[in-house]
Amino acid sequence: MSKELPRVDLHIHSIFSDGESTVADIARMVKVKKLDMAGLADHYSSGPGGERGRMGSNRLKRYLSEVQAASLLKGVEVDIYEDGDLSLDPSEKPLFDYVIAGVHKMAGIAFWGDPTPIPDPKGFVENMRVVIIEAMESKVIDVIAHLTWLPEDIRGMASSLITEDWVDSVVRTAASLGVAIEINGSWTVPDEQVVKKCLKEGVKLSMGSDAHRASDVGNIKYPLTLLSRLGAGLDDLYLPRKLQG
């Protein structure tokens, strides 16, 4: 029987990107929810203005200052583009305690709120695998976010499109490069089989609510339940720094 896992939420968004709550409101909720560790990971795009829903470099200094003042970890979530590049300049990595990366759009199709038909689902998912691996090979990122989440048109086909070979390829690359895989509390991905594979291959697992409002901070029931059921322990978790106490 594994010991009770710590309550960790490393994927929280604020008004600095597409969230609804201030850093101060989030910090208060972290205390209310009695989280053992929490970090902000606002969307970021290098450059002064930033892309839509993304914080730009013109707001980065203030973001880092507010997050540190709130005693939260300074994380960031960056986009994985179709060529495997990231929305983060590698020189900026040392500014953060950790870097999360995820695919949010491919072939002009957003992964949320976009019902555009995808004529070649297998090809789409294969391209997704390739860019995730290329992003990991950059050695800039620490965590892959919401792995196996797909756009609306093909989401119901995930069990057939996300094959065992697809999972093996991504997980083994993550293992070889020391990249963690996130278990996302909002979107309840990846599934148990993927997490089992991560545990088998020694891939660290990160917990995140993907909260966009303070009330959702600490929504980590799915990762906690799954990890506990699989007998995961503290050493299986991705933690940017040691737990206090």
The pLDDT value recorded for residue 245 is 57
Q: What is the CATH number of the domain that holds 60?
A: 3.20.20.140
The pLDDT value recorded for residue 1 is 36
99: left (phi over 0), alpha (psi -120 to 50) or beta: beta
Is 1 inside a domain boundary? Answer: no
Is 200 inside a domain boundary? Answer: yes
Edge-to-edge order in the sheet of strand 73-79: 8-12, 37-44, 73-79, 98-102, 143-144, 180-184, 205-208
- Residue numbers of the domain that contains 120: 8-236
What is the spatial distance between Cα 185 and Cα 189, in angstroms, rounded to a whole number? 8
Is 245 inside a domain boundary? Answer: no
- Domain count for the chain: 1
| Tokens linked to 135 | 């992003």
The pLDDT value recorded for residue 101 is 99
Is 145 inside a domain boundary? Answer: yes
The pLDDT value recorded for residue 50 is 60
Is 3 inside a domain boundary? Answer: no
pLDDT of the chain along its 245 residues, tens only? 347 999 999 999 999 999 999 999 999 999 999 999 999 999 999 976 666 789 999 999 999 999 999 999 999 999 999 999 999 999 999 999 999 999 999 999 999 999 999 999 999 999 999 999 999 999 999 999 999 999 999 999 999 999 999 999 999 999 999 999 999 999 999 999 999 999 999 999 999 999 999 999 999 999 999 999 999 999 999 999 988 75
DSSP 102-139: E--EETTEESSS-----S-HHHHHHHHHHHHHHHHHTT
The pLDDT value recorded for residue 51 is 67
